[in-house]
Chain A
Amino acid sequence: MNILEVKNLVSQLNTEDGVLHIINDVSFAVKEDECFGIIGESGCGKTMTSMSILGYSDRIGLKAVSGEILFKGEDVLKFSKKRLREYNGKEAAIILQDPMQALDPLFTIKDQMIETIRRHQKVSKKEAEKIMIETAESLSVAKEKLNCYPHQLSGGMLQRIVGAMVLSCRPKLIIADEPTTALDVTIQLQYLKLLKRLQKEYHTALIFISHDIKVISMMCDRIAVMYAGEIVETGTRDDLFYHPKHPYTQALFKATNIDGNIRERYETIDGAPPNLKEEIAGCPFAERCQYATDACISGKPEVVKINDEHTVKCRRIADE
């Protein structure tokens, strides 16, 4: 069963300099209980997509031109303010990159957690405290830490607390937007392991957004590769890792140096992502792609289905 379906979403951001084409025809579906990964470089629209899913698009000035985002069959883009308040936190929630920004420095962790729980569930203070301690325990946050202020705790601990806050409302869908980027490598692993375990335990769907292939590959069952506001390739973890089809996916994997060995020179992708101010007529990667033909620059590539899960948006694959 799909808990979330994004269908042909096109979103634009109106700025002083004109319209930015942030999301261009994005479609994907997330199943219940699954961990879905979105990978891409900065500026490719990962975060904007997650904001749209949460129904925040109006607040950040993002205008959905066409398409729909179906959460259990309901279109998030058409939610009323009241429905949106119910939806955020209770049904879909987000873990942000920097836990320091997600927490209020003036209140203790306990105050903030109880506030969150009582905002979404009709429970007394005592019951809320019980829920808080329960979820904090499952994230191995010690009870004493709950009386601290955010500045007294380390980044890894804070990120776990934010996780506990999100999970305390038992949402059906959690978006984790680069949750480990601000953490040290040694802490990162512990956190990912914890997140994965809880996702299984609480039966929530998780959309994991990151620019780090290693992290994504550890966490996710299915992965979408995003480039310049388009999803260029989707597939299971194994599809993408062992048989990447899109030139961008291939280049990204080579540039990451996945085996960790040290070379004389780094592999790079020459050039820069396209300017989103203009609507791109063809494939967004055409300019940097070694296989690009005139047809790639002038017309949009079709989505090619390689197997049930694996799809790729590339003219070269379609021609084969």
Chain B
Amino acid sequence: MSNVIELKNVDKSYTNSGFLKKTTCAHILKNISLQVEKGTTLGLVGESGSGKTTTTRMILRQEKPTNGELFYEGKNVEELTKEVEEEYRNNVQVVFQNPYSSLNPKMRVGEIIAEPLVITGKYNKEEIKKRVRSIMEKVGLAQDYVERFPSEFSGGQRQRIAIARALIQNPQLVILDEPVSALDVSVRGQIMNLLKRVQEKNKTTYIFISHDIATVGFLSDTIAVMYFGTIVEYGKTEDILENLRHPYTEMLISSDSVRNLSEAEEESGEIPSHYDEPKGCPFAGRCKYATDECRNVTPQLKDIGDGHKVACHNAESITLKSVVKINRRKPEYQI
């Protein structure tokens, strides 16, 4: 299988300088390497501030990596010719978290969905109309919505509009940046099912970002767990959810599955500051398994077999529990 996108040792840092002020440097991403195979979904999980969005901004070419390289179908994106660059931008699309701010309130739904096609300048009006109609049908929007404005729709419908806009050019890769976090539970399922159906049909590649490990697990084939700008665990969905090896992954999964407050474990510590980086493992301050080695030596991402990578000194010595089961069966009842 070929990789649509590959990140090789990508670093990103921002410097903060000012008049008569000491220049400080924040390393937001550290040594990120990821591959996304064609037709599969990569899930990025982590708390806010872990670098999920910065990674995708790099892929969308809104930011340039400080170090490291980005490959699109095996070609370095920095060296793309003008034509391929254009193709790249058409082929990589994004759906944002908040459909209330990602749609222009003064444009009609039809115009919003058609805009990517209009910009390319390759299609005539009839063709554009035809494609808008067919994509709207695919994502479950009625045809007469074309003339309406985004303000007339609910969150779920707006997210469908945003998805239609991202899909209209038949992109290779769609980046889904928390597409369901702003939606209600009853609508969330509809959108998730839609995304899955589209992928099964069109073989689209997804990068799915979320802080909720259950939603990520639903769609993803591989998952990268991010913490403080590094990947701490990376592997197949089954490996990450059922055979996890990193304490942070355990914390993410278990805090999502607690049903009784007395079950919740007392924890201390916060995410460290990027301007004042701790020595050793960035998670050591919050980790209940931390040893002296953890506090002094930064762990590297190591392969522990079958492409399952973990950045933890104690990965082999500690036993972690998983509470999530993957049960890919069709629902029995439909409401």
Interface bits A186-211 vs B (CB < 8 Å: 1, else 0): 11111011001000000000000001
Neighbouring A residues of B267 by C-beta, 8 Å: 186, 190
Give bound CA distance, A189 to B257, whole Å. 11
B212 adjacent to chain A (CB < 8 Å): yes
Give bound CA distance, A189 to B187, whole Å. 25
Least CB distance, A283 to chain B, in whole angstroms:
16
B308 adjacent to chain A (CB < 8 Å): no
| Count class of interface residues, chain B | 35 or more
**Contact partner of B335 among A156, A211, A269, A272, CB < 8 A?**
A269
B264–A189 touching, CB < 8 Å? yes
B134 adjacent to chain A (CB < 8 Å): no
Give bound CA distance, A111 to B156, whole Å. 41
Tally chain A residues at the interface, Cβ within 8 Å.
47
B188–A266 touching, CB < 8 Å? yes
* Of B29-37, B87-95, B298-306, B319-327, the one with at least 4 CB within 8 A of chain A: B319-327
Give bound CA distance, A90 to B323, whole Å. 43
A263–B331 touching, CB < 8 Å? yes
A101 adjacent to chain B (CB < 8 Å): no
**Contact partner of B256 among A156, A185, A266, A270, CB < 8 A?**
A185
A236 adjacent to chain B (CB < 8 Å): no
**Contact partner of B189 among A212, A260, A268, CB < 8 A?**
A268
Neighbouring A residues of B187 by C-beta, 8 Å: 41, 268, 272
B186–A268 touching, CB < 8 Å? yes
* Of A64-72, A122-130, A251-259, the one with at least 4 CB within 8 A of chain B: A251-259
Given A185-B252, A261-B325, A272-B156, CB of A251 within 8 Å of CB of B330: no
* Of A8-16, A48-56, A161-169, A214-222, the one with at least 4 CB within 8 A of chain B: A214-222
Q: 20 A–B contact pairs at CB < 8 A?
A: A185-B212, A186-B47, A186-B252, A190-B264, A193-B264, A193-B266, A196-B261, A218-B258, A218-B260, A258-B259, A262-B324, A262-B325, A265-B330, A266-B192, A266-B331, A268-B187, A268-B190, A269-B186, A272-B156, A272-B187
Q: Using CB atoms and an 8 Å cutoff, list the residues of chain A in contact with chain B.
A: 41-43, 154-157, 184-190, 192-193, 196, 211-214, 217-219, 247, 250-252, 254-258, 260-270, 272-273, 290
